[in-house]
Structure 1
């Protein structure tokens, strides 16, 4: 979505007069997190995407930086998590990666992490609305679960707003959405009718993605020659012509079917 669209009635029903600010905070937070991840990948010079994948916590930190100052906003640490999620006006914002390309429909969005799934179950302890249950078919049976002690301080009225996004290690953030839904047994989100809504593009982002020079880092020019622009000294120790075997301690992530928040940033 290249142009800023008006804030919907659905968004205002959840966030009131702050709906536009919350939406913009989500967009900018996701955008900046992906900029950082892409930059780290480029600076690493590695063929694998491990540097990019290791930046996944940046998404949560970036959203925290964007939203923590809003009225009615606070940080929430999910059970067993190493990161914070943001709650704004009793709406817990749960970002997760849908895929690394635009070929995966958002209607197939699926939570892949145990933390995300457990959180969805815990906050669904109350009977969901009929319009959500109707999406799941006659065979679906809703089984309320007990809210764990770590969630006691959340308001009983707290609802999850899911924020799926598509991002790639070379292109950054490609597209994002937000909306309400009910998680099914396999982690797939059954969206409320008319959901999710596509989020607008971040300011300065192109249609190809969110890549570009990241603010705060200066661009360095020059040949980069060392030793006061002189010739490099000859090595005074023996060299070996045999190839060096790649380390086997870590495996490069496979290129299987894209899943939500599958360890990539």
Structure 2
């Protein structure tokens, strides 16, 4: 475990990390199951299921631990986990491994009012001037007010993961970052990988297996030809020696 993780979660940092990995794996598996049941080539079932289950699975994973609060901000459909004064926020940063988490954006478009409010209230001290809430999205102000019952020293921990309907969960990271712009660009202050569960790791490994033409060529088995009858001549004169 890193010093950052120990500073965040104390002696149970390892347990917290395991719970996060398990929750993401469960959410991705549920989303893949929904996609299979839907029997459609469109990926909406996977995406919609994952959007909800990632929050629900996290809440389920931590519901029996002490010092845990499950909060549902006004205007949000999702419950958020606050553990020891740390708010966990999961988001999918990629659908494959073609990009780096360091260039991740939070969301596919403009960050939601909730996301902007979380960064403004609980994100790390920005290393550059951060846009005020009213500059980014005026409708984020009521959301920020709805989070007023959380202490001001609450810290926002991002959980970034890559997943798709074919392979499920590919990788996961957590850390702290600041929101840079209206497109959801991030500047990580700290980011480290979360080891996946064995099942998720095996599935992800299968999705990144080498292409057929990159593998070792098979060695065909050669069996000796058994002795058979003498070949029959094609022409009668060949048989008579004429």
Q: TM-score, normalised by structure 1?
A: 0.68
The answer to which of 110-119 and 79-88 deviates more is 110-119
Q: How many residues align?
A: 192
Shift of 1:159: 0.8
Q: Distance in 2 between matches of 1:84 and 1:210?
A: 31
Counterpart-to-counterpart distance in 2, 1:142 and 1:44:
43
Contact 1:34 1:210 survives alignment (8 Å): no
> Higher helix share goes to which structure?
2
2:201 corresponds to which of 201, 206, 211: 206
Q: Give the drift of 1:122.
A: 2.9
Q: Deviations over 1:20-71 (max 9, x none)?
A: 1110110000000100100111122111111112202011000100012211
Of 177, 180, 185, the match for 1:184 = 180
Separation (CA, whole Å) in 1 of partners of 2:96 and 2:201: 16
Higher relative contact order (CA 8 A, sep 6+): 1
Partners of 2:205 and 2:69 in 1: CA distance: 27
Q: Is the 8 A contact 2:71 2:79 kept in 1?
A: yes
The residue correspondences of 1:110-189 to structure 2 (distance < 5 A) are 110-112=105-107, 113-114=111-112, 115-124=114-123, 128=125, 133=127, 140-143=128-131, 148-185=144-181, 186-189=183-186
Match of 2:58 in 1: 63
**Offset of residue 144 of structure 1:** 5.3
Superposition map of 1:38-77 within 5 A: 38-55=32-49, 56-77=51-72
Quote the Cα distance in structure 2 between the aligned partners of 1:24 and 1:117. 28
CA distance in 2, matches of 1:110, 1:10: 22
Unaligned runs of 5+ in 1: 1-6, 134-139, 212-265
- Cα 1:210/1:103, change in 2 over 3 Å: closer
Whichever of the two has the greater Rg, that structure is 2
Is there any run of 5+ residues in structure 2 with no aligned partner, and where?
A: 134-140, 207-242
RMSD of Structure 2 on Structure 1 (CA): 2.0
Aligned partner of 1:32 in structure 2 is 26
Task: Please say if residues 120 and 160 of structure 1, whose CA atoms lie closer than 8 Å, have aligned partners that are also in contact.
Answer: yes
CA distance in 1, matches of 2:83, 2:35: 32
Q: TM-score of the superposition, structure 2-length normalised?
A: 0.74
| Helix, strand or coil at the partner of 1:110 | coil
